[in-house]
C-alpha cells in the first residue's frame, strides 16, 4: 500500500513538472511579442513569426532528441525485435531517462532565469501598448468624423 501511495505522489509530481514545462514557454511568448511591439512600434504583423518559430524549434528539438536517442541505442548494440538486449542498452536507457533530462531541465531553468521580462516590465509594456492603442483609436475616430 505504501508503494502505491509513493507511486501516486511521484506521478503527480512528474505530471505537474511536465505540465509546467509545456505551459511556461507558451505563457512567456505573448510577453515577448508585446515587448517586441513596444521596442518596434512601427513594425506590424510579426506576431505569427514568433509563434511559427517557436513551434518550428519545438518540433526540431523533438526530432533531434529522437535521433540522438535512437543513435545512442544503436551504438549501445540495440537489436530490433530481439527479446534480450546487451547490458549496454540497459545502461544507455537509464542514462537517457534519468541524468540527461535532469541536466536539460536545469539548463532550461537557467535560461528562464535570465529571462529579461519581469512583472514590472510586463505591466509597463501593457500600459504602453494600451496607450498606443488608445492613441490609434483616437486618430481613426478623428479621421472618420471629418
Dihedral angle of Cα 76, 71, 59, 46, to the nearest 10 degrees: 120
CA distance 81 to 79: 6
Separation of alpha carbons 144 and 85, rounded Å: 75
Provide the pLDDT for residue 142: 61
First CA to last CA distance, the chain: 78
Could you give the CA distance from residue 129 to residue 30 in angstroms, rounded to a whole number?
13
- Place 79 in a pLDDT band, splitting at 50, 70 and 90: very high
Residues 97-129 pLDDT 10s: 989 988 988 998 898 889 899 999 999 999 999
Q: Which residue has the cell 513551434?
A: 55
Amino acid at each position: 500500500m505504501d508503494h502505491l501511495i509513493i507511486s501516486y505522489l511521484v506521478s503527480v509530481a512528474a505530471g505537474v513538472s511536465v505540465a509546467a514545462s509545456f505551459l511556461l514557454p507558451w505563457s512567456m511568448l505573448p510577453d515577448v511579442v508585446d515587448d517586441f511591439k513596444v521596442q518596434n512600434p512601427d513594425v506590424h504583423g510579426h506576431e505569427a513569426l514568433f509563434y511559427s518559430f517557436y513551434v518550428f524549434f519545438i518540433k526540431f528539438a523533438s526530432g533531434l532528441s529522437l535521433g540522438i536517442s535512437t543513435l545512442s541505442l544503436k551504438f549501445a548494440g540495440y537489436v530490433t525485435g530481439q527479446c534480450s538486449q546487451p547490458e549496454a542498452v540497459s545502461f544507455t536507457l537509464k542514462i537517457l531517462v534519468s541524468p540527461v533530462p535532469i541536466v536539460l531541465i536545469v539548463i532550461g531553468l537557467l535560461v528562464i532565469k535570465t529571462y529579461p521580462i519581469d512583472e514590472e516590465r510586463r505591466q509597463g509594456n501593457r500600459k504602453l501598448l494600451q496607450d498606443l492603442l488608445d492613441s490609434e483609436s483616437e486618430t481613426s475616430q478623428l479621421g472618420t468624423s471629418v
